[in-house]
Chain A
Amino acid sequence: MSVENGIGVSVKRKEDQRFITGNGKYLDDINKFGQTHGHFLRSPYAFAKIKNIDLSAAKTAPGVVDIFTGADMTADGIGGLICGWGINSKDGSPHVAPPHPCLATDTVKHVGDQVAFIVAETLQQAKDAAELIDVDYEELKSVTDVRQAAAAGAPQVHEEAAGNQCYDWEIGDKAAVDAAFTNAHHITKIDLINNRVSPNPMEPRAALGEYDPGTGEYTLHTTSQNPHVARLLLSAFVGVAPENKLRVIAPDVGGGFGTKIFLYAEETTAVWASKRVGRPIKWTADRSESFLTDAHGRDHATHAEMAFDADGHILGFRVSTKANMGAYLSTFASAVPTYLYATLLNGQYKMPCIYAEVQALFTNTTPVDAYRGAGRPEATYVVERIMERAARDMNMDPTELRLKNFIQPDAYPYETPVIMTYDTGDYPLTMTTAKDMIDYTGFAARKAKSAANGKLRGIGSSAYIEACGIAPSAAVGSLGAGVGLWESAEVRFNPTGSVTVFTGSHSHGQGHETTFAQLIADQLGVPFESIEVVHGDTTKVPFGMGTYGSRSLAVGGSAITKAADKIVEKAKKIAAHLMEASADDIEHSHGVFSVAGTDKQLTIGEIAFAAYVPHNYPADLEPGLAENAFYDPLNFTFPAGTHIAEVEIDPDTGVVEVVDWAAADDFGNVINPMIVEGQVHGGVAQGIGQALLEGVVYDDDSGQLLTGSYMDYCMPRADNFPNFRVETTNTPCPSNPLGVKGCGEAGAIAAPAALMNAITDALGKEIDMPATSEKVWRAAQNA
């Protein structure tokens, strides 16, 4: 029986009413009585020693309340920021995590590094005062490129990190791969740059810190994807306040894409300083600060080799990657190029053996951490670029080479050589679906037509896989994670039958208020409009791990389902009492409880009322109807699919037009198809952005950020895209009660390789991302 507004229905997003009418409550919309304004003085240099900071003129400037430096925080016992995932090098040594102070003490290590925090009556006064601070810098030679950072004689970003190395990690079986290559019929090699990108959520990061001297409690409003994790870090590691004296609220948050997972210097400083000045302090990043300080994504340089037998079967895969960490180790940075990357290098294929080594390096750049997909896009990019290249080298159709090597639908569970156990899937189906959607067989005719018009046409595929539903706590703990990755929920009935759902997940654009309400509407038969979803406030919701890694539905949604299961169990006992039957005879379907074999029934609303007004109630049962659950997943989920891109290139200018796009994704069961399609659109848009337009550029000599505004950093726009063709297939996920896999990152994971494969197909030669018109034009000239 399908339920109105239940699972599988494209219900319109209830949160959009407030967002599109300007009634969303974002951080900068919140103001407190007596509020001051914070502003950070930032380093103008990529790398410099601070010889002296003279605050004397600034401190007496109009409107200044106080000014803080790193020395003040140190004196107050406030620690630096930490990385929450430990990675060990090949030799067993732990990764190097140099100090990461909120305000620089003696050295600045990237342009935009925080030097001082000015608190004033108005933002303009804070900025005016910042200009009066006299910092005596001694500029040092900097390094921004990851390959140069590894070179002998490169500037040393941290004295703790010899050769700028954070770690030199490996996974897989080196000996087996070496042997496989010895026996290979064909070997394809490729060198790839995965370009650094800036996440650019629409809402900039912001913080509002306040301290209540009466209770000794701090409250921090912050643009976070995981407020409880922020609270944990601020309490246990930074030392601002104990968890019970610190409330963290993430209100409506306008996009995250990963960059709002992390604990940053700004919110830490603002909440700490609010006690020092005795007044609330607000800080909101301007877009220039976002470019300078929001954790960036990607930035890998990779060499990969794949060995094949004479029939085109994969024999072994060898990958060597240099990963840029930036100037400091951000909250989860170490995990991204290791356990979120190399564990997915198996792709969708039967690979007998894999060996990957990853060297992580510090540079004088903005820290790099998880960005939509986080490691998995980088893995897909390597696997799918080399598969396409290998097919061309062996004169095979790239889709046929993939079909020949796919793990077959009857082979699950499938253990890869890089620790993952794929649970289910049908890779041949998504590939053939995508080919049909884009009329793959008709490509030759379309290419000929383009050629007649003087254009180059290309087609390229990407058969991606990702590990989502992050993650089984024991598994990630064994890999170095400092936290568990379960999720929490409470389903609370009100006496009148409406429901409030409390979730530890956090919505910053994903539509949880709608999707989670659909779960309850379906399972408990409560009208959709009678369900509220609450998230983002550590005093309201149970401790939760937040939203990232396409985990909210698979883990957070499962926790809600588990809590609702408990509601059903209790409701059955109440129903049995009220209908004078045995609890064993009570049957439940979508919120209707009936006595088997009779026409007696009660709705969940009637039962909820009885639970809160227990005049006629089981003597051995607690009143009330509210249950919570903590859900720890059994495995990762493995969304997978094939995207196929088709491009037309103008060889006179090098302009690439993306003319068609087919996305066939297996996300398991789908709760709201419209929201899923929207997530695919957004992900593909970001993936196309990375491949075609985006790229953070630092000046080699000075280390200055050259892409510090939208005048130079190119975000994709609607006219860069065709209409996307999106379809889903469904092999239900066996490792969570909803059978869902997650959809938020898929597009960003699949798209770059598909697009670059289409472009290189058209050009007949390899180029790196972003495929700017000049790069493409030069390649087309020499084609």
Chain B
Amino acid sequence: MYSFNYERPSGINDAAGAVGEDDKFLAGGQSYLPTLKLRLAQVDKLVDLGGISDLKGISVSGGEISIGAMTTHGTVATSSDVRSSIPALADMAAHIGDAQVRNRGTIGGSIANNDPAADYPSALVALNATVHTNKRSITADDFFVDLFETALEDGELITKVTFPVPQKAAYAKFPNPASRFALVGVFVAQTTSGARVAVTGAGPCVFRQSDMEAALSGNFSGAAVKGIQTVADKLNADIHASADYRAHLISVMAARAVDAAS
């Protein structure tokens, strides 16, 4: 780890004002701190968002769940509000990393990082969530841009994520056996405006599987999607799984998620 400066503001505006060009927000640090420790990254200043109470907490109103950006995975996993409204989201959060990661890692940190194998991006996209920042609101479809790239501008700070409550939803993850990140993760949701299928782990960035969404709109069953293949051309390939295998797993995990949806 290279040395760096550290600041822990207590307000959103203070935080936004404190972060310069070569600085980073720290939102749990479960990906970034290991990167720093391995000297794979260098930063002038870390602005720790952990002291901002306005960024934490979960509330439900008007058919929507709002989760503060600094809410940990562990809090989401065990929240009675989340468990009763969107059990699939709580279940997904309960299977991120290990207990230590879930107690430090946050929803805002995860989606701002946009790791291609992270679980949360698929939940946001499938559930048609909205990302709120200190400057604007961004739909999940627009938020996740590419590999480790989001619509966030320099210094822009996620404040909360709002999820409309779906009719039913589920997440099926095929974990990388080593890291237990998603080798392929498929989040499905049936909403008033149709079915949504979001895939993480398989490609450079979360994406929607539109063929499956179309099939599910008429028949929300696993059988409807199991035979639908995803083109492997743009999928990831590494020592753990070829693109073909990932493409196959998308179909299997999508079918399992649909059948498990509640």
Which residues of A come within 8 Å of B, CB atoms? Answer: 124, 127-128, 288, 652-653, 693, 697, 706-707, 710-715, 772-774, 777-778
Contacts and interface: CB of A to CB of B under 8 A. Distances in A.
Interface residues of B, number: 18
Given A124-B3, A772-B177, A706 B252 contact: no
A774 B39 CA distance: 33
Nearest to B178: A714
Contacts of B174: 653
Given A288-B38, A653-B252, A712 B179 contact: yes
Interface in B208-262: 239-242, 245, 248-249, 252
B171 to A, nearest CB: 16
5 contacts: A128-B2, A711-B178, A712-B240, A773-B241, A777-B248
Contacts of A774: 240-242, 245
A711 B239 CA distance: 11
A127 B2 CA distance: 9
A717 to B, nearest CB: 9
Contact of B239 (A288, A706, A773): A706
Main secondary structure on chain A at its contact with chain B? loop
Given A714-B177, A777-B248, 12 more contacts: A127-B39, A128-B2, A652-B252, A693-B178, A697-B239, A707-B239, A710-B178, A711-B178, A711-B181, A714-B178, A773-B241, A774-B241
B31 to A, nearest CB: 11
Nearest to B3: A124
B1 A693 contact: no
Contacts of A128: 2
A653 B38 CA distance: 34
Contacts of B2: 128
A713 B245 contact: no
A127 B3 CA distance: 12
Contacts of B239: 697, 706-707, 712
A288 B240 CA distance: 19
A772 B240 contact: yes
Contacts of B39: 127
B232 to A, nearest CB: 13
Contacts of A652: 252
Nearest to A714: B178
A124 B1 contact: yes
Contacts of A697: 239
A711 B3 contact: no
Contact of A710 (B179, B241, B252): B179
Contacts of B178: 693, 710-715
A697 B178 CA distance: 13
Contacts, number: 38
The 8 A-B residue pairs with the shortest CB-CB distance in the complex, in nearest-first order: A714-B178, A711-B179, A774-B245, A714-B177, A652-B252, A697-B239, A706-B239, A712-B178
Contacts of A707: 239
A693 to B, nearest CB: 6
A712 B248 CA distance: 21
A777 B174 CA distance: 13
Interface of B: 1-3, 38-39, 174, 177-179, 181, 239-242, 245, 248-249, 252
A714 B176 CA distance: 9
A128 B2 CA distance: 8
Contacts of A710: 178-179
A44 to B, nearest CB: 13
A586 B38 CA distance: 68
B53 to A, nearest CB: 33
B104 to A, nearest CB: 18
A693 B178 CA distance: 8
A673 B240 CA distance: 39
A288 B181 CA distance: 20
Contacts of B241: 773-774
B228 to A, nearest CB: 14
A217 B166 CA distance: 74
Contact of B177 (A693, A706, A778): A693
Nearest to B174: A653
A627 to B, nearest CB: 51
A435 B178 CA distance: 33
A706 B239 CA distance: 8
Nearest to B248: A777
Contact of A777 (B1, B181, B245): B245
A282 B120 CA distance: 42
A454 B239 CA distance: 28
B3 to A, nearest CB: 7
Contacts of B1: 124
A170 to B, nearest CB: 35
Contacts of B179: 710-712
B222 to A, nearest CB: 11
A554 to B, nearest CB: 36
A710 B176 CA distance: 11
Contacts of A288: 38
Contacts of A693: 177-178
Contacts of A711: 178-179, 181
Contacts of B252: 652-653
B249 A653 contact: yes
Nearest to A288: B38
B176 to A, nearest CB: 8
B38 A773 contact: no
Contacts of A715: 178
A693 B176 CA distance: 11
Nearest to A720: B177
Contacts of B3: 124
Contacts of A777: 245, 248
Nearest to A654: B245
Nearest to B39: A127
A707 B238 CA distance: 11
A715 B179 CA distance: 10
A127 B179 CA distance: 27
A290 to B, nearest CB: 14
A642 B167 CA distance: 53
B11 to A, nearest CB: 33
A778 B64 CA distance: 43
A697 to B, nearest CB: 5
A693 B241 CA distance: 13
Nearest to B117: A711
A50 B239 CA distance: 31
A711 B181 CA distance: 9
A710 B239 CA distance: 13
A772 B245 CA distance: 12
Contacts of A712: 178-179, 239-240
A555 B1 CA distance: 46
B177 A773 contact: yes
A292 to B, nearest CB: 13
Contacts of B249: 653
A560 to B, nearest CB: 42
Nearest to B226: A652
B135 to A, nearest CB: 34
A124 B3 CA distance: 9
A127 B174 CA distance: 38
Contacts of B38: 288
A74 B99 CA distance: 50
A34 to B, nearest CB: 24
A653 B39 CA distance: 36
Nearest to A131: B39
A551 to B, nearest CB: 33
Contacts of B181: 711
Contacts of A714: 177-178
A715 B252 CA distance: 25
Nearest to A773: B177
Contacts of B240: 712, 772, 774
A697 B177 CA distance: 15
Contacts of A778: 245
Nearest to A711: B179
A601 B17 CA distance: 87
Nearest to B184: A653
Nearest to A775: B245
Contacts of A773: 177, 241
